[in-house]
Amino acid sequence: MSSDLTRAYLADLRRRLPAGITEEIADGLATGCEHRLALGQGEDDAARAAIAEFGDPSRLAAEFTRDAPGRRAARILLASGPAVGEAGGNDFRLRHERGS
């Protein structure tokens, strides 16, 4: 099932998220629409309700981005990088001063 509403919603998400994540969301959106259609809702009403369950595309993209493993690793590296760099620099300086 693909309505203009779901196509527009997914196009917005494709600009914000990797393809794999967007395709998973598309599957969930289709399932939600199909469920509502089976209950007798019209296509647009079913699409609106399914989209409402997923929420605003910018918020949804922010949630995925915030929880992404690569982003977590980057935050850890950014937080620890200066300390690790300083420790390495100090080690280098001390070895150089000792003549090692």
Q: Is the pTM of this model over 0.75?
A: no
Res. 26: pLDDT tops 60: yes
Of the CA atoms within 13 Å of residue 41, those in its CB half-sphere come to 15
Report d(CA 78, CA 2) in Å as an integer.
42
Per-residue confidence band for 65, with pLDDT thresholds at 50, 70 and 90 = confident
Report d(CA 58, CA 64) in Å as an integer.
10
Res. 23: pLDDT tops 60: yes
Domains of the chain, by residue range, sit at 1-67, 68-100
Mean pLDDT, residues 44-55 taken together: 94
Report d(CA 3, CA 9) in Å as an integer.
10
Which pLDDT score is estimated for 16?
87
Q: How many CB atoms lie within 10 A of CB 6?
A: 22
